[in-house]
Structure 1
Amino acid sequence: MSAEKRREEKLKRRLQRIVKEQDLTKQREFVAGAMAEQGMDALTCAAALIYLSHPQLFGGSVAAGAPVPAKSTAVETSTAKLPWLDYKMVRYRLDVGLQHQVAREQIQDILVQESGVDKRRIGRIDIRQHYTLVELPDGMPTDIFQLLTEAAIGPHKLNIRRVRPNKFRQARGKSSAESAG
């Protein structure tokens, strides 16, 4: 099975689990209202929502000449120029590092493939000998976190986990910044 088919199957399983486990009343009301306001059918609305949450799933970029809503373009532009203004970043530790012969591109690709995060929203990647530190946008859903925990680069599982901020380092950084300014 190709990597794209696996991602599609994972998305289908996640959708099934969400439909079974969650109360989607508010979301259904929102979609119905959006469909009525925009004059779109349910299939187009669902396709747009999948693209919004997983832009890389079916080949990713907008086709040349395809109409792009102005609001979407403005958000993408501001995110590309000033990412730190739009979302908070959280540091994670991956159980792959230099000893596993992983490259930055491999890590970015697996994060995009498994979580659907936009490549531009992946922050600093610090590959160390035995592990890697990576910054991702705050608010990762638990099901995506679980997918990343089980994901692997070659035979090596990522085993992602959140890194708690070092309060001592943050306090030291603030005091040196205050004395400098």
Structure 2
Amino acid sequence: MSKSLVACAAGLLFVMGSANAISVSGEVGQHYTNMGFGLGSPIPGLGISGNWLRSDHNGSVGSLGLDFSMPLGPLMATVGGKALYLSPQDGKSGAALALGGGLKWTLNRYISLYGEGYFAPESLTSGVKAYNEASGGVHWNVFRPLSVDVGYRYINIKGKDGHRDNTVADGPYVGVGLSF
């Protein structure tokens, strides 16, 4: 059974990779930086994403995600999950499986609004009590392949066993991206 599951997953990734866009992005906030990549994100269907976010004062978060996007009228709705590596400044490093999703509203061919959120309760984490993530903003397609994002990001790693919470990101950011 596991061989057939691996073959099915490999087939989905092959089909998804041949039909969808690849993107890379970078963001800078007041006390954090974020580097990300995506495969299949801007169009309906399966997508893969990943990122590495580093805070100047509260640790780092790395993720690898799988999501599914579908149009709902003028919106693109996404549901998915992320496997996370959590390295808070105060506390134990650990892992988490976060579930969530987002919405994207394309206003015209250049401007869109977006928001997303992910959450991992204590039952889906190790080393920490909980994980919360939310972001939203404006996406501007300057020209293909360049885009600019302006938004707000919040990421909190809730401490466990007497360790404090680590707010890895909490504030506005500016980002640039390339899509191919």
State the TM-score, normalized to the length of structure 1.
0.26
Structure with greater proportional helix content:
1
For the pair shown, which has the larger CA radius of gyration, 1 or 2?
A: 1
Work out which structure has the larger RCO, using CA pairs closer than 8 Å and 6 or more positions apart in sequence. Answer: 1
State the TM-score, normalized to the length of structure 2.
0.26
